[in-house]
Amino acid sequence: MNRFRELSIVAGAALASWSGMALAQAQGISDAKDLTAVIALNGKPCGTVVNATKRGEDDYVATCQDGNRYRVYVKDGRVIVEKAN
């Protein structure tokens, strides 16, 4: 299991315990929910991720329901969330 997936599962489980949502099994839905959790746990405004584009291994651009866009990627074993242009 890659590092981003491990961290996103932990983040998703934490968010799920707060909101009572279940983690989805479908890859596209799972990615959106994982990214939503990672962005929220990094304190960034988002709401829900409505679209995610995979740029490479452990590298996504997520578009949120509130219009914010974030690049979420792994660098040196850490998940980085930064505002995308």
Distance of alpha carbon 69 from alpha carbon 20, whole angstroms: 25
pTM of model > 0.85? no
What integer pLDDT is reported at residue 15 of this predicted model? 47
Going residue by residue through the chain (85 aa), what tens digit of pLDDT does each one get?
Answer: 466 666 665 555 544 443 333 333 334 557 889 999 999 999 999 999 999 999 988 899 999 999 999 999 999 989 999 999 8
How many domains, in total, are found in the chain? Answer: 1
Tokens coding 84: 């995308």
3-state secondary structure of 57: coil
pLDDT, position 18: 39
Structure tokens that stand for 6 in this block: 């491990």
Q: Which amino acid belongs to residue 44?
A: K
